A and B are shown apart, each in its own frame.
Chain A
Amino acid sequence: MSLEITNAIVEAIPRFEGYVYPNESGTHPLWGFLIVLYPYITGLVAGAFIMASLVRVFRVKPLEPVYRLSLLTALAFLLCATLPLLFHLGHPERSIQIMITPHLTSPMAIFGFVYAWYLMAVLFLELWFDYREDFVEWSKTEAGFRGIIYRAFTLGVTDVSDKALALDHKLSWIISILGIPSAFLLHGYVGFIFGSIKANPWWGNAIMPIIFILSAMVSGIALCVFNYMVLTWVRRRALDMRCLDVMGMFLFYALVIDATVEALDWVHRAYSAEEGFHVMEYMAQERLFYTLSIGQVLVGTLIPLLLLGVLQVLRKRIPDMARKRMYFASAVFILIGVFAMRWNVVMGGQFFSKSLRGVMSYKLEFAGVEGWFMGLILLSLPFIILTVLIKLFLAERLSTKGHVPHRMEEI
């Protein structure tokens, strides 16, 4: 791409190299930082839910201490998942049209229903059945505001006979099983929103939903590790090292599969080298170097793979303290890396022109709806919600009766 012939656009705004269609030469990409947050948050939801279903469906006993935490994490993030989408719309006040007059060939329209299904039919129901016995118990023991909340959440159903509880757990187990494909659907669908755009060779790719699901699992488990470690640290409690080791093991395997499939995608792109590969290659090297090579590959994949790999092999020889730090570092690195991956997908798809003759660059601004300050607020919102949820439903002062493991045996 030579600049020998510089057009007016290039002269006025030197953020372009080569030729981009005039309509693409706006001041910033059409889909900005908010749309990066959207698949990131949705992925964390799906991953955290799959983490929880390891306990309930696959009966991974050591993970019981994080079962409820991961479900609440999924809920807190799911409640915020559509906010970035809403804010970026030109007409947020018309957003309800997506639900009431959906255009059924549009992936974005169907996402509304997938989201609603997941929130209402899966997450709320699973949480409610899991917590019902406790709600009944707490509504008797707790007074004041908490008491009102717990009483409200019993929904008037106070039957805690053995028969009723057995039904609860059976239903909860069924919902969990339904929940796994639903979680895959939720995030696979986000991948499909990008993967279905055939106009964009960076996005239009059948493997995109799979990559999204795998990276979602990785990021979700990493988030649960992070939340669990922070929560026990805040509460000055001892970590359950067995639980942590098992989470680390699942994190490692998920990361191996994710990294393999993403690498396969790249090998395929490079080998087939279809039209436009050269401009994408150039963009990846020049415009996405820090987020792709450093963020996604080095920080997000290679370092955690090394750390977690070492932990798999030498688990018994590494002292607890060092292991904790290695797990924590891996989780944080993976969370950064998956964020970089979302950035690379969303921004990468807009950094080159669909004329395949030019690339653009973009400087993230501080202020404005698409600025990083707004992004930071949106990203901290689920943590604030999670803190409230934990205070309400995972408080230390509350005794929990309905704990998953023992009941599981009865089914």
Chain B
Amino acid sequence: MKFDFSRRKMLGVFGGALAGLLSAPAARAAKATVQKVFASSGAPNGYDPYKHKWLMCFDVDKCIGCGLCVDACKKENHVPEAAHYFRTWIERYIIKKPKPGSDRLRGEVLVDSPNGGRDGFPPTSVPREEILKSFFVPKLCNLCEASPCTQVCPVGATFDTPDGAVLVDPNYCIGCGFCIQACPYGCRFLNPETKTAEKCNLCYHRITRGLKPACVEVCPTEARIFGDLKNPVENDPIQTFIAKNKVFSLKPHLGTEPRTLYANLDKEVR
């Protein structure tokens, strides 16, 4: 076999290869966008994500740790039963008094979340007189504006929607777990049945039909406040809540800009 290695020919070959290389990422990006549009989100036909902006707030002082929200979430979203898969959970903080003679403001901080708080909380073994204060903190996906989980997903299976939810396409997720590592709040887990990443999706199938998320629906004390910033109603609970309270987000130093906001949060909560 004899090849003709002329300069003109080789330049043509390399030029073609270069053009192919350069156009490939654009083609891939286009394909990824198309796939995102057709991702199964559970929203009904005709739902326009650009006309909504969902927000979730918590009044820490109102949470009584009953666990109804955790139970409702597990049932609504078919979350695996085991005690290490939760889309939402409740933490109990017990802050002890400082030891006598100590120059500190507060003593040891004890945190627990038995079965995610689903069955409520058993009485603590810490004697009452040693407790400075105690409170419950509900947790779920922080709906970050700059979500680190979507940033790291190698295939774009998890994505931010224009209405403020962060969703996962289970038909596209490769189960690498990078998003679970990247979530600072421990909100994600790898579903043992589907082998894909899973997290709170704000009950997307419900909110896009005008319902509230299951956890908000069942909360007996209205510790969870849910609303749509783009469509305020009369005496809008979200607007009132933001106006009346000083709100705080979790781990603000990470720059994730969460859109789950907490009122009456303690500095010990992470």
For the complex formed, measure the closest distance between the CB of B217 and the CB atoms of chain A, giving whole angstroms: 22
- Closest CB of chain A to B40's CB: distance in Å? 15
Q: Determine which of B86, B111, B126, B173 lies in contact with A357 in the assembled complex, contact meaning CB atoms within 8 Å.
A: B111
Do B186 and A106 touch (CB < 8 A)?
no
Q: Which of A24-32, A180-188, A242-250 lines the interface with chain B? A: A24-32
Among B24-32, B44-52, B56-64, B202-210, the stretch that binds chain A is B24-32
A134 and B35 alpha carbons, distance in the complex (Å): 49
Point out which of B139, B154, B195, B270 has the most chain A C-beta atoms below 10 A from its C-beta. B154
Bound complex: CA A275 to CA B254 (Å): 12
The yes or no answer to B188 lying at the interface (CB within 8 A) is yes
A30-B181, A157-B3, A353-B186 given as contacts; is B84 within 8 A of A23 (CB)? yes
A103 to B32 alpha-carbon distance, docked (Å): 8
Contact of B151 among A5, A26, A106 (CB under 8 A): A106
The minimal Cβ–Cβ distance linking A21 to chain B, given in whole angstroms, is: 3
- The minimal Cβ–Cβ distance linking B126 to chain A, given in whole angstroms, is 6
Query: Cβ of B186 and Cβ of A5 under 8 Å apart?
Result: no
In the complex, which residues of chain B have a beta carbon less than 8 angstroms from the beta carbon of A156? 1, 3
- Against A, the Cβ 8 Å flags (1 = close, 0 = not) of B139-183 are 100000000100111111000000000000000111111101111
Indicate if the CB atoms of B181 and A108 lie closer than 8 Å: no
* Residues 95-110 of chain A, each 1 if its beta carbon lies under 8 Å from chain B, else 0: 1011011111111110
Say yes or no: is B11 at the interface (Cβ < 8 Å to chain A): no
Q: Which of A36-82 contact B (CB under 8 A)?
A: none
Tell me if B174 and A5 are in contact (CB < 8 A): no
Give the residues in chain B near A89, CB-CB below 8 Å.
174-176
B residues near A203, Cβ cutoff 8 Å: 181
Residues A5 and B195 in contact, CB atoms below 8 Å apart: no
Of chain B, the residue at the smallest CB distance from A107 is B152
Chain B residues positioned under 8 Å from A27 (CB to CB): 84
**Contact, CB under 8 Å: A199 / B184:** yes
Given that A95-B174, A108-B152 are contacting pairs, would A90 and B28 also be in contact in the complex, using a CB cutoff of 8 Å? no
CB distance from B177 to the nearest CB of A (A): 5
**B189–A26 touching, CB < 8 Å:** yes
Q: With A and B bound together, what is the CA distance between A354 and B250 in angstroms?
A: 12
- B254 near A26 with CB under 8 A, answer no
A90 to B173, CA, bound (A): 9
Q: Are A100 and B186 in contact (CB under 8 A)?
A: no
At the interface, yes or no: A404 with Cβ under 8 Å from chain B? no
Asked if B108 lies at the interface with its beta carbon under 8 angstroms from chain A, I say yes
Contacts of B126 in A (CB 8 A): 4-5
Give the docked Cα–Cα distance between A22 and B86 (Å).
Answer: 7
A7 and B190 alpha carbons, distance in the complex (Å): 23
Contact A2 to B110, CB < 8 A, known contacts A31-B177, A109-B154: yes
B124 lies within 8 A of A199 (CB): no
Give the residue of A7, A98, A108 whose beta carbon is less than 8 angstroms from that of B112: A7
B: contact size bracket: 35 or more
Does B187 sit at the interface, judged by CB under 8 A? yes
In the assembled complex, A94 has its CB within 8 A of some CB on chain B: yes
Q: With contacts A91-B173, A198-B148 known, is A23 near B155, CB below 8 A?
A: no
Beyond A95-B174, A108-B178, is A5–B31 a contact (Cβ under 8 Å)?
no
**Mask of B236-265 contacts with A, CB within 8 angstroms, 1/0:** 000000000000000001110000000000
B85 interface residue, CB < 8 Å from A?
yes
Contact assessment for B125 and A4 in the assembled complex, using a CB-CB cutoff below 8 Å: yes
Please, how many residues of chain A have a CB less than 8 angstroms from a CB on the other chain? 58
Residue interface mask A1-28, B partner, CB < 8 A = 1: 0101111110010000011111111110
CB distance from A315 to the nearest CB of B (A): 46
Interface residue ranges of B107-122 to A (CB < 8 Å):
108-116
A113 nearest in chain B by CB position = B25
A102 CA / B124 CA spacing, docked (Å): 49
**B125, A106: Cβ atoms closer than 8 Å:** no
Residue of A nearest to B119 (CB): A8
Cβ-based interface call for A200 (8 A): yes
Closest to B27 in A: A100
Closest A residue, CB atoms, query B181: A197
Q: Does A387 contact B (CB under 8 A)?
A: no
Choose from A2, A30, A196, A354 the contact partner of B184 (Cβ within 8 Å).
A354
Complex alpha-carbon distance, A297 and B15, angstroms: 51
- Bound form: Cα–Cα A19–B156 in Å: 32
Residues on A with C-beta less than 8 A from B255 are 198
- Nearest-neighbour CB distance to chain B for A261, whole angstroms, equals 24
Given known contacts A19-B111, A26-B84, A104-B29, is B155 in contact with A94 (CB within 8 Å)?
yes
Instruction: Judge whether A106 and B154 touch: CB under 8 Å.
Output: yes
Kindly identify which residue among A6, A25, A31, A102 contacts B84, using a CB–CB cutoff of 8 Å: A25
Residues of the B chain whose Cβ atoms lie less than 8 Å from the Cβ of A104: 25, 29
Q: Say how far B139's CB is from chain A's closest CB, in angstroms.
A: 8
Q: Residues of B contacting A166 with CB < 8 Å?
A: none
Kindly report which residue of chain A lies nearest to residue B149, judged by CB atoms: A199
Judge if B89 is at the interface, Cβ distance under 8 Å.
yes
A285 within 8 Å of B (CB atoms): no
Residue among A12, A102, A193 with the most chain B CB within 10 A? A102
Residues in chain A near residue B254, CB distance under 8 A: 198-199
A355 at the interface (CB under 8 A from B): yes
> Does B196 interact with chain A (Cβ within 8 Å)?
yes
- Known A31-B177, A90-B175, A357-B270; judge A103-B114 contact (CB<8 A): no
Please name all residues of chain B whose beta carbon is closer than 8 Å to the beta carbon of A90 when the two chains form the complex.
173-177, 190, 194-196
Sample of 7 A–B contacts (CB below 8 Å): A6-B112, A21-B186, A91-B173, A102-B32, A103-B153, A104-B29, A197-B181
A contact set with B: CB distance below 8 Å: 2, 4-9, 12, 18-27, 30-31, 85, 88-92, 94-95, 97-98, 100-109, 112, 156-157, 193, 196-200, 203, 275, 349-350, 353-357
Chain B interface residues toward A at CB < 8 A: 1, 3, 25, 28-29, 31-32, 35, 83-86, 89, 91, 94, 108-116, 124-126, 139, 148, 151-156, 172-178, 180-190, 194-196, 253-255, 270
For the complex of A and B, the 6 pairs showing the least CB-CB separation, nearest first, are: A90-B175, A21-B186, A90-B195, A7-B112, A8-B114, A199-B184
Q: Other than the known A22-B115, A109-B155, what 9 A-B pairs have Cβ atoms closer than 8 Å?
A: A26-B190, A30-B180, A88-B176, A91-B175, A100-B28, A103-B153, A106-B155, A106-B156, A193-B178
